[in-house]
Amino acid sequence: MLPSVVPRWLLVTALVLLLAGGAAIWLWRSAGSSSPVSEESALESFREGGGAVAGPRPGVPRAGVYTYRQSGEETGGAGPLSVNRDLPREARYVITPAPEGYQEQLSLSEQHIEGVRYRVTDGGTLATWRRTDVTFLGIGRDDRRDLRPPQLRLPRPLAVGSIWSGRYAAGDLPVAYRSEALRRERVEVGDEPVPAIVVRTVADTGGPHPGARTDTIWWSPRLALPVRWTIEMEVRGTVSLDTRADLRLASATPLT
């Protein structure tokens, strides 16, 4: 029996507040972590996208699920509040067929997924569509936009010293970019040193969510893949996002 000096409503109120506080702490801690994407779910996404029918053709990578060893972190916020979380140790990269080229889906985590659709031509690889799906506390937006005109990702042939730039609209967001092929390097993929060309692209986005992003890829012309990839991104506005990631390809042979 409850002591008569303690009203039942007060105990109920205290219990509700305690549970609410515990839930808030749990949600806050959950926001500070990233969940890795499993090979099984990546393979399911790959097979839903059409399976291993892309390529082989110049500029088109072998279709399947690739794994990158990953290090990095990101911070998301709204107003004065922000949450920092480490990225998982592995990222998944899914290549599926697309008209005139292929589509990539890079999952830094279950909470941060990016996708790009490419058209591969004799003159180079053009990005025609982009997806960004980032969530914190289960809140976010799966944003998908056509790029007009398409962005030149890589010219063909690609040579050290090449510089290219342009402007496009991602939906209603204006983007200006500049790319440069900096140098040649070899990157260890498994036990194999893979020749690569280091390409840096800096993009500035305007509109309600202004930001800057630098992608540096160690591009293997033979594999038509980044064998290493670093991302530095800052988004400002009503909500903010800072991402820093360093990815290194674990194997040149994809799962199918």
Taking only the tens place, the pLDDT of each residue in 68-91 is 999 999 999 887 788 999 999 999
C-alpha distances in angstroms, 123 versus 59, 112, 130, 152?
10, 31, 21, 9
Question: Which has the higher per-residue pLDDT, 23 or 178?
Answer: 178
Handedness of CA 42, 44, 47, 52 (dihedral sign): positive
Report the predicted TM-score, pTM, of the whole model to 2 decimal places: 0.85
CB 251 within 8 A of CB 220: no
Residue 29, pLDDT score: 47
What is the pLDDT at residue 32? 64
Q: In whole angstroms, what is the distance from residue 81 CA to residue 127 CA?
A: 34
Report d(CA 83, CA 240) in Å as an integer.
Answer: 10
What are 20-70's pLDDT values in tens digits?
Answer: 444 343 344 445 678 999 999 999 889 887 665 545 688 999 999 999 999
Cα distance between residue 129 and residue 116, in whole Å: 6
Nearest to 202 by CA among 160, 227, 232, 182: 232
* Residue 5 to residue 14: CA distance in whole angstroms: 15
As a whole-number percent, the residues of the chain with pLDDT over 70 amount to 85
Q: How far apart are the first and last CA of the chain?
A: 63
The closest alpha carbon to 68, from 86, 91, 96, belongs to 91
CA 254 to each of CA 52, 63, 250, 251: distance values in angstroms, whole numbers, following the listed order: 10, 7, 10, 7
Average of per-residue pLDDT values in the chain: 87
Task: Kindly report which listed range (7-21, 50-64, 173-187, 217-231) carries the lowest average pLDDT score.
Answer: 7-21
Average pLDDT over residues 122-149: 92
Residues shown for the chain: 256
